[in-house]
Structure 1
Amino acid sequence: MKILVFLVLLGLHSAAAGIHSLKYIITVSSQVPNFPEFVIVAMLDDVQIYHYDSNTRRLEPKQDWMNRVIEDDPQFWESHTARGLGYHQLFKDYIETLKQRFNQTGGIHVFQWVGGCEWDHETGEVNGFRQVGYDGEDFLSWDVKTNTWIAPKQQAVITKNSWNNDKAQLAYYKHTINQELPYWLKMLMNYGRSSLMRTELPSVSLLQKTPSSPVSCFATGFYPDRAEIFWRKDGEELHEDVELGEILPNHDGSFQMSVELDLSSVTPEDWRRYECVFHLSGVKDNIITKLDKTAIQTNWSKTGDGRDGGSSGFPLVAVIGGVVVLLLLVVGITGYFLWKKNKKGKEGFKPASTSDSSSENSQQINLKT
């Protein structure tokens, strides 16, 4: 489906220890089959905590501990549901404006707004972010230091000028970054601390598809996703003949990742010099796996006449299962655009009216989350 081209697989990353984030992702789409026209997702430390879409028209908790938030503060759920209902039409109008501006009459189109804040609980520093994308490309970004919008495309200049002239809205952005968003982030962290702050070490295996394939060091079942895995030789990390894979989610909320090592130019005598290292943020000791031919799991075996035979235990189910779950999660939470790679999003969004007027009568969105 074309929409998947615009979505990065969960946007998982290895955040620095001590830094927590609260992100809100709003997506409105046009003519996408079997997909809600409007979706809101809230992410705490890159874990989905609730979801709203135009099909169900209600907020749905995605973590067990979010039920305690609802019980303690019923207005939280009611007010956020009401916002979802109100924002739907505003964002729908905005995507129609963009279609006109880009001279588009039909087809699949996706508009996405990402925003929130990061909080370093060790230093107390708070940073906010807001970013807008259209059809998989940057449309607008917000510079938190100058409190101004930046337009990377000519079609966005009208909106950029309109929003930068709205001083009241810009002042509101600063208020949400300094006050409201940090409050919600800290409150939600208190509720979800036991789940979000836990650490789980993985099982680590050596895998090889065929005798001539690279050897993969595969770690699965770890939490959180702030982890790294690498090969080293004689105690030195390798950067050549290695290929690092993405961190992927498992069905139980844990994660998996792998790193491949090409041994085509390595003699059997030198295998003992290699080892795989897995490091989980917040955990002192690493998991070290020596490169041992007898420990490698494969999906091939030798028949009696020396030909390659059938499977001997390569855990394809874990890998395939992770990919399937990943794709389901991508569709379920709408993910991030490819334009977000290595960028910060920007919280808060005010779609312009069809004329992009900055007058007091212009419609605007204030995400007081």
Structure 2
Amino acid sequence: MQLFLALCFLLGIPSGAPDIHSLKYFFTAASNVPNFPEFVNVGLVDEVEISHYDSNTRRKVPKQDWMNKVTEEDPEYWERYTERNLGRQQTFKANIEILKQHLNQTGGVHIYQWMVGCEWDDETDEVVNAFDQDGYDGEDFISFDLKTETWITPVPQAVPTKHKWNSNKAEMDYRKHYLTTECVDWLKKYVEFGRSSLMRKDLPSVSLLQKTPSSPLTCHATGFYPDRADLFWKKDEEELHEDVVKGEILPNHDGSFQMSVDLDLSGLKDEDWGRYSCVFHLAGGQEVSKRLDKRDIRTNWKTNDGGLPTGAVVGIAVVAALVLAGVGLIIWFKNRPQGSRGTSKSDTSSSSGEEAMQSMLKTSS
């Protein structure tokens, strides 16, 4: 499982399966990264950002109006977690320096991140996944395997840490308790706070875009929610897999999503155009279908007289604006991991789902 840089961490990425909910916390420390905070803490419910702290603002704040409900039970919630994150940013900064020493590194850009969280099925009331994982400079470093209740690592540099943490049975018992109980309890509470928002379903607008007559044709769907969706080309009633390139689901600035799928038109006969259609399918069964019609294609190529074809728009500018409609930078875990992080007993009184956290390397070096 690889980590990768996602240049547009947008404000919401809902989890889409109708009854599966997730709670995740990302802690990111950056060294020598221009125009990016040294430390960022982001909380997500169903991939929607619910809380944010960074070392520039030095404040932990809600990112959804419904998250303010936590102060009804705990009026000092945001102030308390602001103070805790002020301490954490120093811990994470120290983690990078310790890692650089362990790996014989000097200067340069370095990123250290921890992700912890859980997934819960609100129909069966079962924990369907949990993860607790550390990464460094875009690669996995160490993780907690909930099935075996042991720490595992893909890199030799983390083997001493793995052995030390595996010998701490009390810590591993707490780790299991947090991932399967405390995390889920907070997830249930947050889902109840934001149910009307998190459970909504929005269908997208679907457009056909093309740079030039020889370029692949892009079917672009934007404005859908949640992100458990599919977009594909079909001929007659059969889904196409050849001459098709599918893009990733990307978040929009308003919390909705967009995605696209390209179709190579080079071998397409004019008389067959009406047999092709682009289909958007949202989890739960709702669909939007757009039949292939030359009159509906939006493009930015110019005709010989310097004008635009009839009905044309600057499609590429539209797509660029949508893709760049995000904010920030975050190290994202491409696949669902099994997690990692060692914690000190002094910091395991979880009161928001993110408490089980202490310096990975300070406790292992």
Q: Deviations over 1:17-44 (max 9, x none)?
A: 3111000000112222332211111011
Identity of aligned residues (%): 56
Q: Are 1:128 and 1:177, in contact at CA under 8 Å, matched by a contact in 2? A: yes
Note the 1:1-369 alignment, pairs <5 A: 6-7=5-6, 10=9, 16-126=17-127, 127-282=129-284, 284-303=285-304, 309-310=307-308, 312-326=312-326, 328-329=327-328, 331=329, 334-336=330-332, 340-346=333-339, 348-350=341-343, 366=348, 368=350, 369=353
In the alignment, what sits opposite 2:357?
Answer: none
Give the count of matched residue pairs. Answer: 344
In the alignment, what sits opposite 1:355?
Answer: none
Deviation, 1:277, is 0.5
Q: Which runs of 5+ in 1 are unaligned?
A: 351-361
SS at match of 1:74: coil
Q: Are 2:243 and 2:264, in contact at CA under 8 Å, matched by a contact in 1? A: yes
Deviation, 1:290, is 0.7
User: C-alpha distance in 1, partners of 2:7/2:168?
Assistant: 32
Matched AA of 1:170: M
User: C-alpha distance in 1, partners of 2:246/2:196?
Assistant: 30
Q: Are 1:117 and 1:181, in contact at CA under 8 Å, matched by a contact in 2? A: yes
Q: Are 1:49 and 1:66, in contact at CA under 8 Å, matched by a contact in 2? A: yes
Q: Are 1:129 and 1:344, in contact at CA under 8 Å, matched by a contact in 2? A: yes
Farther-moved stretch of structure 1 (19-28 vs 81-90): 81-90
Matched AA of 1:318: V
SS at match of 2:265: coil
Deviation, 1:146, is 1.0
Pair 1:14–1:84, CA change in 2 (3 A): closer
Tell me the TM-score normalized by structure 1. Answer: 0.86
Pair 1:349–1:26, CA change in 2 (3 A): farther
Deviation, 1:238, is 0.6
User: C-alpha distance in 1, partners of 2:346/2:106?
Assistant: 25
Q: Are 1:119 and 1:182, in contact at CA under 8 Å, matched by a contact in 2? A: yes
Deviation, 1:347, is 5.9
Pair 1:14–1:148, CA change in 2 (3 A): same
User: C-alpha distance in 1, partners of 2:341/2:20?
Assistant: 21
Q: Deviations over 1:96-153 (max 9, x none)?
A: 1111111012111111000100001122111321111001111001111111110110
Q: Are 2:248 and 2:259, in contact at CA under 8 Å, matched by a contact in 1? A: yes
Matched AA of 2:316: L
User: C-alpha distance in 2, partners of 1:321/1:170?
Assistant: 46
**RMSD, matched Cα:** 2.3
Matched AA of 1:286: E
User: C-alpha distance in 2, partners of 1:13/1:240?
Assistant: 30
Deviation, 1:254, is 1.3
Q: Are 2:16 and 2:283, in contact at CA under 8 Å, matched by a contact in 1? A: no
Pair 1:36–1:8, CA change in 2 (3 A): closer
User: C-alpha distance in 1, partners of 2:258/2:313?
Assistant: 18
Farther-moved stretch of structure 1 (129-138 vs 50-59): 50-59
In the alignment, what sits opposite 2:361?
Answer: none
Pair 1:116–1:254, CA change in 2 (3 A): same
Q: Are 1:229 and 1:276, in contact at CA under 8 Å, matched by a contact in 2? A: yes
Deviation, 1:325, is 2.1
Deviation, 1:345, is 5.0
